[in-house]
Chains A and B, each alone.
Chain A
Amino acid sequence: MTDNLQLNADGKLKHFLTIEGLSRALLTEILDTAESFVGVSDQQIKKVPLLRGKTIVNLFFENSTRTRTTFELAAKRLSADVLSMSIATSSTSKGESLLDTIRNLESMFVDMFVVRHAISGAAHFIAQHTAPHISVINAGDGQHAHPTQAMLDMFTIRQIKKDFAPLRVAIIGDILHSRVARSQIQALNTLGAKEIRVIAPKTLLPAHVETLGVTVSHDLTEGLQDIDVVMMLRLQKERMTSALLPSESEYFKCFGLTESKLKIAKPDAIVMHPGPINRGVEIESTVADGPQSVILKQVSNGIAVRMAIMSMAMQPQGAF
């Protein structure tokens, strides 16, 4: 066994829990494999038989539409059997512990768990305690990580910009609470982007954020200069109530991405957003729907990237 729970003895992907600790070669392998799966969605029969006979359980302890749907579609396009469980309608609401839920599902001969949970480390915990033949994929845990989102973002960037080395990337918004931002920063650093610049008010940045390998700006106008990729984050409305921000309109004035602000970035800059977007809060409609936006491309790419990660984690874990 290697120290990294995510890898098997041969250094191949077993679980996908966080970008942290994964090599550039492995991330590149995920992106290359995803490239192969893009064409499947164009086929008349959008399905390949790779994971036929495998059972995948989507375990969503937290709401999600996009992530759950694309995971489900990805599994179905690999011909796996998928069960999507929303926990609000299940036995944890009746008091069953997380581990008991897992044990019960294991007894139904499942092969993979895709887990979203409001508590950081939940997917990691399941990976540690589940049966050895089962793979676990993190579909977002608390404020910790959302690695498949980061990988589909990387895939979209590579598709358009080809190479990470010359890129200056801005991540804008609520960095403090964002698992997406954390995973994006790790992925961009591992893949060798030239600069990662976080742009946010001080109240929405974690302490010592520079130690993550980023540069910091508190001013959108200044921060967008020379930027190739603009990655917006959703402003979680619940943060408004916790006195971290004065008001939505105030936030939009300072940190909302408008057409005129976008002109400060490079003319061929692309605009990304993990969704769901709050129009008029962090991003102007004309930008979200504009020619530089790749937001819907990100959604399409999410399927191919999740197919790649699922099929890699389900690869034989033996001597090959």
Chain B
Amino acid sequence: MLEIDPLLNNLEAGLRQLIEERQLKQPLMIGIHSGGVWVAEAMHQRLNISEPLGLLDISFYRDDFSQIGVHPNVKPSQLPNSIEGRDIILIDDVFYTGRTIRAALNEIFDYGRPNRVVLGVLIERDGKQIPVAPDCAGERLTLSAQQRIKLTGPQPLKIHIETATRHD
């Protein structure tokens, strides 16, 4: 079990710094379904972002359709009408292999050409498989391959580390 509040505080501070350093203008915030949306809801509120939170379900953009096929109950993505030229803060719960972010970027670019995309995650763990990395993280962890970070929510938002008995 990990304490969630310090992680949220760190992420919030990191995002504030990013917004200032990179001079993000009226940024749009987008959460990745499902854990990323929960974290994004908290950040959206804390950072007082005026525009409604965007929701991204990347199921149709995953790179493993040829291995595992399609899952039912994919939530429709809800992005604002135009993301053309916008600054976007993309939020996910855990950054692991990087494949989710690849899929999310592909989907976002299907909606238009943003000016800039920054990535904030609650936890960045080791195990990256493609050259993508978060711009800020609430915490950085080194875990064994059998360990998984699990977020439950949305209320209360909790995070714990599980050791998987089977390899999936």
> Whose C-beta in chain A lies nearest to the C-beta of B74?
A36
**Partner pick for A48 among B61, B68, B72, CB 8 A cutoff:** B61
Whether A33 contacts B70 by the Cβ 8 Å rule is yes
Whether B77 contacts A33 by the Cβ 8 Å rule is no
Residues of B within 8 A of A40 (CB): 60, 76
User: What distance in Å separates the Cβ of B37 from its nearest Cβ neighbour in chain A?
Assistant: 15
Binary per-residue interface labels of chain A (250-273) against chain B in the complex, 1 for a CB within 8 Å, 0 otherwise: 000000000000000000000000
Whether B77 contacts A312 by the Cβ 8 Å rule is no
**Partner pick for B110 among A33, A45, A312, A315, CB 8 A cutoff:** A45
Answer yes or no: A67 CB below 8 A from chain B CBs: no
Number of residues on chain B facing chain A (CB within 8 A): 21
Answer yes or no: A49 CB below 8 A from chain B CBs: yes
Residues of A within 8 A of B68 (CB): 316, 320
Whether B111 contacts A32 by the Cβ 8 Å rule is no
Within 8 A of B (CB), among A34-64: 35-40, 42-45, 47-50
Whether B73 contacts A320 by the Cβ 8 Å rule is no
Within 8 A of A (CB), among B60-87: 60-61, 65-77, 81
Residues of B within 8 A of A29 (CB): 72
Answer yes or no: B59 CB below 8 A from chain A CBs: yes
Answer yes or no: B106 CB below 8 A from chain A CBs: yes
Whether A48 contacts B60 by the Cβ 8 Å rule is yes
Answer yes or no: A183 CB below 8 A from chain B CBs: no
Answer yes or no: B112 CB below 8 A from chain A CBs: yes
Residues of A within 8 A of B106 (CB): 49
User: What distance in Å separates the Cβ of A9 from its nearest Cβ neighbour in chain B?
Assistant: 15
User: What distance in Å separates the Cβ of B47 from its nearest Cβ neighbour in chain A?
Assistant: 26
> Whose C-beta in chain B lies nearest to the C-beta of A29?
B72
Residues of A within 8 A of B111 (CB): 43-45
Answer yes or no: A311 CB below 8 A from chain B CBs: yes
Residues of A within 8 A of B60 (CB): 36, 40, 48-50
> Whose C-beta in chain A lies nearest to the C-beta of B70?
A311
Residues of B within 8 A of A39 (CB): 75-77
Whether B67 contacts A49 by the Cβ 8 Å rule is no
Q: How far is the CA of A278 from the CA of B114 in the complex (A)?
A: 49
Residues of A within 8 A of B110 (CB): 43-45, 47
Whether B69 contacts A320 by the Cβ 8 Å rule is yes
**Given known A316-B66, A320-B68, A320-B69, contact A38–B61 (CB-CB < 8 A):** no
Residues of A within 8 A of B112 (CB): 44
- Most B CB contacts (10 A, CB to CB) among A29, A47, A49 go to A49
Whether A316 contacts B70 by the Cβ 8 Å rule is no
Q: How far is the CA of A314 from the CA of B71 in the complex (A)?
A: 13
> Whose C-beta in chain A lies nearest to the C-beta of B65?
A50
Q: How far is the CA of A47 from the CA of B111 in the complex (A)?
A: 10
Residues of A within 8 A of B71 (CB): 36
> Whose C-beta in chain A lies nearest to the C-beta of B64?
A316
Residues of A within 8 A of B67 (CB): 316, 320
> Whose C-beta in chain A lies nearest to the C-beta of B62?
A50
User: What distance in Å separates the Cβ of B73 from its nearest Cβ neighbour in chain A?
Assistant: 6
Binary per-residue interface labels of chain A (286-320) against chain B in the complex, 1 for a CB within 8 Å, 0 otherwise: 00000000000000000000000001100110001
- Most A CB contacts (10 A, CB to CB) among B69, B71, B77 go to B69
> Whose C-beta in chain B lies nearest to the C-beta of A45?
B110
Whether A49 contacts B61 by the Cβ 8 Å rule is yes
Q: How far is the CA of A74 from the CA of B88 in the complex (A)?
A: 30
Residues of A within 8 A of B74 (CB): 36-37
Residues of B within 8 A of A37 (CB): 74
Q: How far is the CA of A312 from the CA of B75 in the complex (A)?
A: 17
**Partner pick for A35 among B61, B65, B72, B77, CB 8 A cutoff:** B72
User: What distance in Å separates the Cβ of B138 from its nearest Cβ neighbour in chain A?
Assistant: 30
Identify the 6 closest CB pairs spanning chains A and B, nearest first.
A39-B76, A315-B69, A36-B74, A48-B60, A32-B72, A45-B110
Question: Footprint of B on A, CB under 8 Å?
Answer: 12, 29, 32-33, 35-40, 42-45, 47-50, 311-312, 315-316, 320
Known: A33-B72, A311-B69. 12 other contacts (CB 8 A): A29-B72, A32-B72, A32-B73, A35-B72, A39-B75, A44-B81, A44-B112, A48-B61, A49-B61, A311-B70, A312-B70, A315-B69
- A sample of 21 inter-chain contacts (CB < 8 A) reads A12-B69, A33-B72, A36-B60, A36-B72, A36-B74, A40-B60, A44-B110, A45-B110, A47-B110, A48-B60, A49-B60, A49-B61, A49-B106, A50-B60, A50-B65, A50-B70, A315-B70, A316-B67, A316-B68, A316-B69, A320-B69
